[in-house]
């Protein structure tokens, strides 16, 4: 493991071709303050341009929490204008959503409010058995502002999303799995290893095909079916301009493993 950069509130590591971004405020259960937002956005820009990073994992430091939401202590003194600026594009949420490589949320405990919204902006969500997931904003007299009402509803449907957002109740890992909110549940001890297995598997695929696949799947919740199908054909066709497509097809015909270079 190597520490790539020095930030105050986050930590970046690289393990082979997988980047790991850790929110590093365990004393505050990794609550998102303005420094996490700005450092996170800056780190994502660098990771995006780093060809050595093919998949990104986002997690929280410590054993108790992924992210316990927005830093409530920073709410005092916030105005509609300052809050709008934090949540408007380019926000941390959109920077993850639009990140051109697969992003996996590795959820090790509390995943609340803005933390749930970070997880929802990721492509896969893998949780530990002790995870607790919720959108508790309603208890503070506010509502989600990082995409929760939209991305949660698209993922699990209006009825369940509405219940989580109106009650503010947390759900456990098993319930989240039943709802399709998370992809896999592992014991806390196995979480990292199992997440890295999935990340490493994805990292062996063509980075170009991964980018096109992510964009195509994301189009499904943004466009109508005709537009989405047209977009899919365009993205599918783009793959045919890549050396990786030649490599993938040759490797299959030669009965060997492909070596994708991202070209
Ligand atoms: N913002 C700021 N600080 C937070 C925080 C948040 N969202 N969540 C936790 N913390 C801080 C606590 O204030 C506490 O700090 P302290 O030790 O300086 O007092 C520390 O993190 C540990 O949290 P604590 O509440 O003592 O842990 P717990 O195990 O008793 O409870 C939670 C855990 C997650 C249930 C509880 O911290 C909580 O409800 N947090 C707020 C969740 C929330 O509403 N998020 C959405 C914000 S929009």
Q: For residues 30 and 24, is the Cβ–Cβ distance under 8 A?
A: yes
259 has pLDDT over 70: yes
Is the model's pLDDT at 224 over the cut of 90? yes
Residue 89 confidence (pLDDT): 81
Indicate whether residue 72 lines ligand 1 (CB < 6 A): yes
Catalytic residue among 117, 158, 193, 194: 117
At residue 62, the pLDDT reads 97
> Smallest Cα–Cα separation from 117: which of 77, 86, 141?
86
Share the mean pLDDT of the chain: 96
* pLDDT tier for residue 4 given thresholds of 50, 70 and 90: low
Q: Is the pLDDT of residue 168 over 80?
A: yes
Q: What is the pLDDT of residue 63?
A: 94
Q: Decide: 76 in ligand 1 pocket, CB within 6 A.
A: no
The DSSP bridge pattern shows strands 110-112 and 65-67 to be parallel
Known catalytic membership, residue 117: yes
Per-residue pLDDT at 1 exceeds 80: no
- What spacing in Å lies between the alpha carbon of 33 and ligand 1's midpoint? 13
pLDDT digits (tens, 9 = 90+) for 123-138: 999 999 999 999 999 9
Q: Which residues pair with 171 in a beta bridge?
A: 133
Q: Which residues in 132-149 are b (16+ Cβ under 10 Å) and which e?
A: bbbbbbbeeeeebbbbbb
- Contact by Cβ (8 Å): 122, 152: no
Closest residue CA from atom 11 of ligand 1: 28
Helix or strand or coil: residue 253? helix
76 CB-contact burial (10 Å; exposed 0-12 / middle 13-18 / buried 19+): exposed
Q: Work out the percent of the chain whose per-residue pLDDT is above 70.
A: 98
- Measure the CA–CA gap between 63 and 60, rounded to whole angstroms: 8
**How confident is residue 3, by pLDDT bands cut at 50, 70 and 90?**
low
Cα(28) to ligand 1 centroid in Å equals: 6
Q: Which pLDDT belongs to residue 77? A: 86
Q: pLDDT digit string (tens) for 16-57?
A: 999 999 999 999 999 999 999 999 999 999 999 999 999 999
Say yes or no: CB of residue 29 within 6 Å of ligand 1. yes
Q: How far is the CA of 39 from the centre of ligand 1 (A)?
A: 21
């Amino acid at each position: 493991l190597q520490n790539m950069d020095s930030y105050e509130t986050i930590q970046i590591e690289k393990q082979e071709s997988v980047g790991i971004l850790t929110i590093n405020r365990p004393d505050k259960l990794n609550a998102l303050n303005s420094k996490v937002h700005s450092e996170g956005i800056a780190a994502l820009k660098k990771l995006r341009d780093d060809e050595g990073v093919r998949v990104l994992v986002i997690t929280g430091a410590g054993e108790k929490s992924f992210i316990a939401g927005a830093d409530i202590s920073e709410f005092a003194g916030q105005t509609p204008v300052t809050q709008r600026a934090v949540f408007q594009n380019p926000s941390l949420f959109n920077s993850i959503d639009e990140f051109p490589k697969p992003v996996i949320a590795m959820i090790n405990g509390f995943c609340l409010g803005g933390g749930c919204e970070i997880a929802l902006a990721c492509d896969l969500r893998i949780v530990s058995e002790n995870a607790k997931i919720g959108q508790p904003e309603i208890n503070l007299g506010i509502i989600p502002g990082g995409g929760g009402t939209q991305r949660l509803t698209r993922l699990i449907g209006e009825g369940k999303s509405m219940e989580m957002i109106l009650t503010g109740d947390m759900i456990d890992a098993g319930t989240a799995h039943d709802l399709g909110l998370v992809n896999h549940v592992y014991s806390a001890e196995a979480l990292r290893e199992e997440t890295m297995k999935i990340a490493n598997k994805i990292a062996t695929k063509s980075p170009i095909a991964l980018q096109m696949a992510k964009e195509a799947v994301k189009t499904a919740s943004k466009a109508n079916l005709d537009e989405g199908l047209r977009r899919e054909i365009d993205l599918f066709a783009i793959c045919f301009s890549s050396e990786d497509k030649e490599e993938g097809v040759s490797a299959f015909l030669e009965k060997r493993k492909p070596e994708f270079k991202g070209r």
